Amino acid sequence: MDEGLRSELSKQGVFTTTIEDIYNWGRRNSVWPLQFGLACCAIEMIATTMARYDLARFGAEVFRPSPRQADLMIVAGTVTKKMAPQVVRLYNQMPEPKYVIAMGACAISGGPFKQGYNVLKGIDRFMPVDVHIPGCPPRPEALIHAFMTLQKKIDAQKLTGPDRARHLNADEPSEFPVPSFGAKDLDPPQNNALWQPPKLERAE
């Protein structure tokens, strides 16, 4: 619809909108996170939901104890290799549309445990992550910022066309392989379709 016409109509008290706008408006204001925490970042996540920071302002106060009812997975904390298959399985059990916020240094990269043997070096090796938040742990404001970023992202999603949202595209996968425990490491150590080791370019 033409922006000028829409503006003119709204001056006359006639509101016009699109299905896409209403649909995304509703979705972005009721993002229900999955209630689980892995480490100390979870404490900050809990603080964010409480009265002082009040995540309820963003429509995300309803933490669901079942992945079947959740829209958002906040990976809050260190993902150990022993825990990684369970985290991926929980993600697979969530219905579409689903989103992931990787919260804190550990969840995005392994953090201080990066050179250890037992911590996964970022959950984005096994599942698509929408918003990464650095910090150790990130402050509640950072999580709220991630939420607002995610809301903007949801708001911009298309319902139709080739660049439509993932959950409306039957060709896009909504489940990802769960790694199994190997003799030395997870098997496979990463999902190559999702994540490739970065190519380092030498500084001249």
Which member of 114, 158, 159, 160 binds another protein (CB under 8 A)? 114
List b or e across 10-31, with b for residues whose CB sees 16 or more CB atoms inside 10 angstroms. Answer: eeeeeeeeeeeeeebeebbeeb
Quote the least distance from Cβ 129 to another protein, whole Å: 16
Question: Is the CB of 171 or the CB of 204 nearer to another protein?
Answer: 204
Quote the least distance from Cβ 81 to another protein, whole Å: 8
Q: How far apart are CA 80 and CA 84, in angstroms?
A: 6
15 binds another protein (CB under 8 A): no
Which member of 61, 96, 155, 185 binds another protein (CB under 8 A)? 185
173 binds another protein (CB under 8 A): no
Q: Are strands 99-103 and 131-133 parallel, antiparallel or unpaired?
A: parallel
Which member of 24, 151, 157, 190 binds another protein (CB under 8 A)? 190
82 binds another protein (CB under 8 A): yes
67 binds another protein (CB under 8 A): no
Question: Is the CB of 135 or the CB of 189 nearer to another protein?
Answer: 189
Question: Is the CB of 80 or the CB of 149 nearer to another protein?
Answer: 80
Burial tier of 38 (Cβ tally within 10 Å: 0-12, 13-18, 19+): buried
Which member of 7, 16, 18, 118 binds another protein (CB under 8 A)? 118
Q: Which two tokens stand for residue 139?
A: 């402050």
Determine the size of the site formed for another protein (CB under 8 A): 21
Which member of 110, 128, 137, 138 binds another protein (CB under 8 A)? 110
68: helix, coil or strand? Answer: helix
Q: How far apart are CA 58 and CA 44, in angstroms?
A: 17
CA dihedral 179, 181, 185, 190 (to 10 degrees): 0
Q: How far apart are CA 1 and CA 155, in angstroms?
A: 17
Q: Which chain residues interact with another protein by CB under 8 A?
A: 81-82, 110, 114-118, 121, 181-185, 189-190, 197-198, 200, 202-203
